[in-house]
Structure formats: structure tokens, C-alpha cells
Homo-oligomer: A and B are copies of this chain.
Amino acid sequence: MDPMLTITDVSRRSGVASSALRFYEERGLIASERAGSGHRRYPRSVLRRIAFIVFAQRIGLTLEEIAAELAKLPADHVPTRRDWSRLSGEWRKRIDERIAELQRLRSGLTECIGCGCLSIDRCSLANPADMAGRKGQGPRYWLG
């Protein structure tokens, strides 16, 4: 009946390893209180926060971006569904762009590779849009 959860509880219920939970805390994505022993204790609301993190990762956000989003949540109360939904503004666009790119790649699979035009001179299939989570490195620019 204790409302607070141990790190193992949270790990089991979220599917996120304890080491990752400590790492998230270090990066400021989640927080914990401490029991007298020094052990972490989490309120239930952390589970939703973690769900949000995992969700955002699947979309392609980096932890840094996610941290920035989470920082927009009000500090004075446990976030409501309204608070959460305010965070998703930019995301829809991002998902749509990535879907569009994949569809382009998909049709290129038939048309471009199939027809033999997959040549750097004429084909502009792979383009640099989105590429979430990899900035400033790699040679992945492609001038279509």
C-alpha cells in the first residue's frame, strides 16, 4: 500500500533497466526521492513520464530533445493529460515527414532500383530530411 516505488518496481513495470533509470535521472529526465537508506523512491507518476520518454524515442527524438520537452511541464503539480498533450505539437509533423520519406523510398524501390536509374547522377531518392538523432556527423547529406 506504500505509494512509493523502488527502482526495481519501476524497472519491472516500465521495461526500462534500472541502469537506464539512473541514467535518465542523471540527465534530468526523471527524478526520485530518497528513502532514509539512500535508496531511490519513485511516485507512480514517474511511470507515465517514462512512457512518454519511450514513446518519444520511438518517434526518433533524442534524450536531449525529450528532456527539453519534459522541462516544459508545469513544476507545481502532477501533469494532467492536457499538460501532456501540449507537448506533442511538433511531433506530428515530424512523424508525417518521416512517413513521407519512407513512402518515397518504398516507391523508389520499385521504380528506381527496378528500372535501373539508381545512379548518383540522376536519382534523388535518398534525401537528407529528418534523420532524427544524428546531427553534425556522418556524410548523410544527399543533394537531390
Contact = CB atoms under 8 A, between A and B. Distances in A.
A120 B14 contact: yes
B58 A105 contact: yes
Interface string A117-144: 0111101011000000000001111110
Could you tell me the dominant secondary structure of chain A's interface residues? Answer: helix
A99 B95 contact: no
Given A92-B106, A102-B98, A120-B47, A142 B81 contact: no
A103 B120 CA distance: 31
Contact of A47 (B15, B98, B114, B121): B121
**A48, A108, A115 — which one has the most chain B CB atoms within 10 A of its CB?**
A48
A55 B106 CA distance: 10
Interface of A: 13-17, 20, 47-48, 50-52, 54-55, 57-59, 80-81, 84-85, 87-88, 91-92, 95-96, 98-99, 101-103, 105-106, 108-109, 113-116, 118-121, 123, 125-126, 138-143
Given A55-B105, A95-B102, A99-B103, A84 B118 contact: yes
Nearest to A47: B120
A51 B115 contact: no
B139 A17 contact: yes
Contacts of A143: 15
